[in-house]
Amino acid sequence: MNVYILTDMEGISMVFLKEQCQGGHAFYPRYQEILTAEVNAAVEGAIAAGATRIVVNDGHGGNQDYNILCEKLNPIVEIERPDSGKLVLPALDDSFHAMIMVGYHSMAGTPNSVIPHTQNSTTILTYWINGRPIGEIEQMSLLAGQFGVPVMYVSGDRAAIDEARQVLGEDLPATVIKQGHPNGRTTSIHPQEAVKRIRADVEAALKQPRRAPHHVEGPYDMRITYKCIESANNHAARADITRYDDFTVGRTVTEVNDILL
């Protein structure tokens, strides 16, 4: 069994500030350790379920270098870093049995969530496909689905898991790591407990019958509503982009791989 582990950082235990996930801040290395431990737990769970090839995608964008402490990962894994919208999942293809997501967050604007955002938290207000808002969980699920690869498991805060289950089914295996509050803070399980639960939950998820890949029929009317006119202006300068109003730009595409601007 080949398993693709896609990682983010806002959804790991203890994190409640954006700066905790950004290189250059004094406390960032502490959260690199937590991220690495939770990813390793997912790796161990996948191995226990029978995985023989595991690719780990260090998908968090808060650092020019890797966020995961790669030398501390189980040496069975292959490690990759995404590049552009078309190379966000470089190694993923139809040879994989499952994608699992570790450390995920909900879409921009989600109440009672931990650092909710969609791509760029500074500039993007809402990301739309075919008239409805979607977040990074569904974006990645669609990209995996084009290869017939289902999302089998997600870890993150309560809002992220609720979002994932709305998209991928209420029975989606998941680990709730923490609960966001209206003041932007969070109640988190202990990092050691997070590791314990992720390892067990991933193993159980991958031993279940294979889930259906996520699919939305194209074409895809994709739009981004920005928080400021300047950001919309910058994107509207591209020849393939349509301007819909002062804050919203987009385009219509036929291939899932083109849904990210």
CB atoms within 10 A of CB 199: 21
Cα–Cα dist 96/144, whole Å: 10
pLDDT tens for residues 17-39?
Answer: 999 999 889 999 999 999 999 99
Largest CA distance in the chain: 52
Cα–Cα dist 212/3, whole Å: 15
pLDDT tens for residues 196-255?
Answer: 999 999 999 999 999 999 999 999 999 999 999 999 999 888 889 999 999 999 999 999
pLDDT over 80 (residue 86)? no
What pLDDT score was predicted for residue 191?
Answer: 98
What pLDDT score was predicted for residue 84?
Answer: 62
Is the peptide bond between 219 and the residue preceding it cis, with omega within 30 degrees of 0? yes
Rounded to an integer, the average pLDDT of 110-116 is 95
Domains (range + CATH), the chain: 2-258 (3.40.50.10780)
- Looking at the chain, the whole-number percentage of residues with pLDDT higher than 90 is 86
Higher pLDDT, 120 or 217: 217
What pLDDT score was predicted for residue 24?
Answer: 87
What is the pTM for the complete model shown?
0.95
Residue 186: left (phi > 0), alpha (psi -120 to 50), or beta?
beta
Higher pLDDT, 65 or 169: 169
